[in-house]
Amino acid sequence: MLLARELGKIYAAIDQSVALALSHAEHKPVCQKGCEHCCRQPIPLSQPEAFALFEYVRFALAPEIKAKLLQNYLSQQDAQAPGAPCPLLLNGSCQAYQLRPIACRRFMVGRMACGEHEDPAATRPEDLIIPARSALNDCLLGLSGIYEKHYRLFGMAQAPEFRSPVERIAWIKTNTAIIQAYNWQSFFEVRRKD
């Protein structure tokens, strides 16, 4: 769980920025367990975050949960179709909540719950509770450091080189896919003892 430990510092900083945003928010968030509409949006996921989730799924998730996730995953015709659920969603709850990615940690809606297929960023952006952009940028810089340190893990021949923080952040964004686009099947199939 190497990457999970390194990402832990980044996630803690994001959670801190979320707590600060909540302390100033006009509305309290209505997000709660069982409300899964945001988990059916395209969720940006960097490779370090994906690897940490793969490790978690492979080594820490209970076999019976993995079996159910695999069943759901295989039952979908197109895992990337609009409205397709995140592969880690089960019965309205995230099966990797402690390790959920930055995008999930920062997403909060106030006033009223999202409707089915609603993207509140488009329909009512004023209800979004948005943590400071500077905190997000700091975390993206941290992510770029993980790419530099573990570049081989991400299939790179050499560590990426950056000339400025702006370049780092832009690079992270272009090297991020959506969570639904990763191939989860082999990780759900692996048994705990493997």
Q: Which range, of 95-103, 139-147, 164-172, 182-190, touches ligand SF4 by CB under 6 A?
A: 95-103
The residue (of 12 and 166) whose beta carbon lies closer to ligand SF4 is 12
Is 89 near ligand SF4 (CB under 6 A)? yes
Q: Which two tokens stand for residue 26?
A: 């006009």
Rounded to a whole number of angstroms, the minimum distance from the CB of residue 39 to ligand SF4 is: 3
Is 61 near ligand SF4 (CB under 6 A)? no
Q: Which range, of 89-97, 114-122, 162-170, 184-192, touches ligand SF4 by CB under 6 A?
A: 89-97
Using CB under 6 A as the binding rule, the residues of this chain from 7 to 46 that contact ligand SF4 are 39, 43
Rounded to a whole number of angstroms, the minimum distance from the CB of residue 60 to ligand SF4 is: 14
Give the containing element (helix H, strand E) for 89: strand 89-90
The residue (of 92 and 165) whose beta carbon lies closer to ligand SF4 is 92
φ, ψ for residue 46, nearest 5 deg: -75, 165
Instruction: Give the Cβ contact number of residue 122 at 10 Å.
Output: 7
Is 69 near ligand SF4 (CB under 6 A)? no
Residues paired with residue 180 on neighbouring β-strands, in sequence order: none
Is 86 near ligand SF4 (CB under 6 A)? yes
Using CB under 6 A as the binding rule, the residues of this chain from 142 to 181 that contact ligand SF4 are 179
- 128 and 108 in contact (C-beta within 8 Å)? yes
Rounded to a whole number of angstroms, the minimum distance from the CB of residue 37 to ligand SF4 is: 10
Rounded to a whole number of angstroms, the minimum distance from the CB of residue 50 to ligand SF4 is: 11
- 129 and 109 in contact (C-beta within 8 Å)? yes
What is the 3-class SS of 109-172, one letter each residue?
Answer: EECCCCCCCCCHHHHCHHHECCCCHHHHHHHHHHHHHHHHHCHHHHCCCCCCCCCCHHHHHHHH
Q: Cα angle at 41 between 35 and 43, to 5 degrees?
A: 110
Binding positions for ligand SF4, rule: CB under 6 A = 39, 43, 86, 88-89, 94, 96, 100-101, 104, 179
